[in-house]
């Protein structure tokens, strides 16, 4: 099982798309193990996006991410990072495929609705920033119908 951070960004919150976007992750078979509605502080945004600090778009990115609340999610599932990134679509919404979140609901590169961790290392770092209190472990009955146990045993 893999965990990833997903942020439903200020544009998703302001447009009332949180439920729609969240349902796509759940319908795919990913499990919510942490969730909070929060306002990102400039300090947290700076830590989260520190890799982009020298880039020209950094000040605007921090301003955008702190302008309105977000929904922070920790999702869990097999290949969760890859699955989430596929569901989200290309970073530039205008180039995202139909059927993806950005392809269906976005039109901008900057206002692209969702953030998702891009690697297990990034997920670990980002989850610790947004959920320092930890994550809830629980058994989902639906997983018995989403994941083929025989297929999972073959991977072991």
- Which residues form the catalytic set? 115
What H or E segment, with its residue span, contains residue 99?
none
Residue in 142, 135, 119 with CA at minimum distance from that of residue 36: 135
Angstrom CA distances, 85 to 1, 56, 102, 115, stand at: 16, 24, 10, 9
Tell me the CA distances in angstroms from 60 to 63, 67, 93, 136, one per residue in order: 5, 10, 18, 33
Residue holding tokens 């990034």?
Answer: 122
């Amino acid at each position: 099982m893999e965990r990833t951070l997903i942020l439903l960004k200020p544009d998703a919150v302001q447009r009332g798309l949180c439920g729609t976007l969240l349902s796509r992750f759940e319908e795919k078979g990913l499990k919510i193990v942490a969730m909070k509605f929060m306002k990102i502080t400039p300090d947290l945004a700076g830590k989260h996006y520190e890799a982009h600090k020298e880039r020209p778009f950094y000040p605007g990115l921090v301003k955008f991410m702190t302008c309105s609340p977000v929904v922070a999610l920790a999702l869990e599932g097999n290949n969760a990072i890859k699955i989430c990134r596929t569901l989200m679509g290309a970073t530039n919404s205008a180039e995202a495929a139909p059927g993806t979140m950005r392809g269906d609901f976005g039109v901008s590169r900057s206002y692209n609705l969702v953030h998702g961790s891009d690697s297990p290392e990034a997920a670990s770092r980002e989850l610790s920033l947004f959920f320092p209190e930890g994550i809830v472990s629980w058994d989902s009955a639906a997983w018995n119908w989403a994941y083929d146990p025989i297929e999972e045993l073959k991977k072991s």
